[in-house]
Every structure is written in structure tokens, then in C-alpha cells.
Amino acid sequence: MAQYSNALKACQPNLLRQVYGKSKSLIHGLFPATCLLCLDPGQPPALDLCRECEDDLPRNAAACAGCASPLPRPGAACVHCALQRHAFDAAFAPFRYEFPLVELIHRLKYGGQVAIARILGTVLGHRLLERGAPPVDALVPVPLHPAREAQRGYNQAWEIARFAGQVTGVPVLDRVALRMRATEEQAALPASVRRVNVRGAFEALAGCVPPAVAIVDDVLTTGATADALAEALKRAGCRRVEAWAVARAVGEPAQR
Ligand SMILES: [Zn+2]
Ligand SMILES: [Zn+2]
């Protein structure tokens, strides 16, 4: 009996993978990807965004390398980064936080539509590949406090990082960083108090982080959350931390 039970346990992962793989292809066959924005066919096998709508997303083409803040011309640092450095070493957000990303991110965070993370993570991954090989060893999604994650049912940053990692081949580190305090939702606070709200909110597990990582989030705004997490990751041994997000809020200069 024990032998049988061990054999069953041993074969289950394969069996599960096969069943899951087959059911996934069946689902994709029955429900081909459809663009969420224009209802044209999506991009096979499962991206619910057509190529034209992906190309039409508002690009953050000229951005400060320090904080991803949109700039009038490429090449310069923004006035804030010229005066004061962030705890993270560089930032990348390929899109501006405008229509339709505002709506998509809102539906992901507050509407329970976790499937939208595949779109956001994939388009982030595509733009990262366009820049060249990602210069980090791993992705670290911004952790939610366990109470908020339980309430939402998932961490949207983790879901985005999962798909960006699939596209780029960069592994995602789960649970190496923890949110120790349940902070107020940053989006609900004025820029001036966001830094205080999130200060000291994170801890990272020393010895569990590689030398270079990228923090992944849905939106980069003042950079306060990314700074607090970058400080924790550096305390834990990271030497280089980048801050990556799908979209950069416009008109919210990064501040230290
Ligand atoms: Zn479309
Ligand atoms: Zn800047």
C-alpha cells in the first residue's frame, strides 16, 4: 500500500502537468484569445490584447533613467534625480499611466480581474526584451500585506511579474520580501505623505537575494514604495536594485 501510495505521489506531478496542459490547450481552442480593448482576435496562444492595441498603448518613450518620469526629450535626468538619488539604482516603466492602462490596472486591483495581469505582465516583458537582455538576476514583486492579499485573493504585482518573467526568462522570487506593516493604500494619499506611510514597511530575507534584482509593480508614482523596498533588499545583501512597473504616473515627480 505504501509502495502504491509513493508511486501515486511520484506520478502525480506529471499527470497533473499533462491534464493541465491538455485542458489549457482545449480551453484556448474553444475560447481563442480576444482583444479586451477592441474585440479583434488576440495574440495566440492566450494574450487577450491584439498587436495593434499593444502598439497603441501610451509609450513612455522619453523617460528619466533614475525614476522613469516622462521627460520632454530623451537623454536627460529629471530635476529631482539630478538633485537627489533614489534607494533604487534605475527605473523602467514602458508606458504612461493613461487610458487604457488606468482602466486595466483598476480592474486588476479593485475589480478582481486577475486575468488582466497576463496582458500587463506580457506587454512589460515585450518592452523589456526590446531594451535588450534584462540586467538583473531575478524579479521581486512588491509584496502586499498578508491581510490585504487575503482580501484581494492575489497580489497583482506578483501576477504581473509572473508573466513578465515568462516572457523574459528572468525568475520571480516569491516571499523573499515581506510587508511587515499594513500601510494605507498609497493611491489614496497625497504625494507628500506617501514616503512616511511606507517607511520601514518592508523586510527582506538576508542571504536569500541575488546581487541584482528588479522590483516589479503595476504603477510607479512617487517612487516611495520602491525606495522602501529597495532599502530592505539592500540591507539583505542586494547590490543593485531596479524599479520596474508597467506604467509611470504622469505629473507625479519622484521625490526623496
Ligand atoms: Zn485590440
Ligand atoms: Zn528622475
As a 3-state breakdown, the chain gives helix, strand, coil percent values, each rounded to 5, of 45, 15, 40
The closest ligand to the CA of 48 turns out to be: 1
Note the pLDDT tens digit of each residue in 3-21. 434 433 443 445 545 555 5
Provide the angle, in degrees to the nearest 10, between the axes of the packed helices 224-235 and 191-198. 20
Q: How far is the CA of 222 from the centre of ligand 2 (A)?
A: 10
- For 155-212, what is each residue's pLDDT tens digit? 999 999 999 999 999 999 988 999 988 777 777 777 767 777 788 889 999 988 999 9
Q: Which three three-digit cell numbers place residue 211?
A: 546581487
pLDDT exceeds 60 at position 244: yes
103 Cα to the center of ligand 1, angstroms: 15
Q: How confident is the model at residue 133 (pLDDT cuts 50, 70, 90)?
A: confident
3-state secondary structure of 207: coil
User: Between 252 and 236, where is the model more confident?
Assistant: 236
C-alpha 39 to ligand 1 mean position (Å): 6
> CA-CA distance, 144 to 155, in Å (whole number)?
6
* Residue position matching grid coordinates 515585450: 126
Query: Cα–Cα distance between 106 and 108 in angstroms, integer?
Result: 5
Report how far ligand 1's centroid is from the alpha carbon of 123 (Å): 13
Cα separation of 253 and 170, whole Å?
A: 29
Predicted TM-score of the model (pTM):
0.85
DSSP code for 186: G
Helix axes 156-168, 101-110, angle to 10 degrees: 120
Question: 104 alpha carbon to ligand 1 midpoint, in Å?
Answer: 13
Q: Which helix (H) or strand (E) holds 47?
A: none
Q: What is the pLDDT of residue 2?
A: 40
Dist. CA 94 → ligand 1 center (Å): 19
For residue range 31-75, list pLDDT tens digits in order: 789 999 999 999 999 999 999 999 999 999 999 999 999 998 877
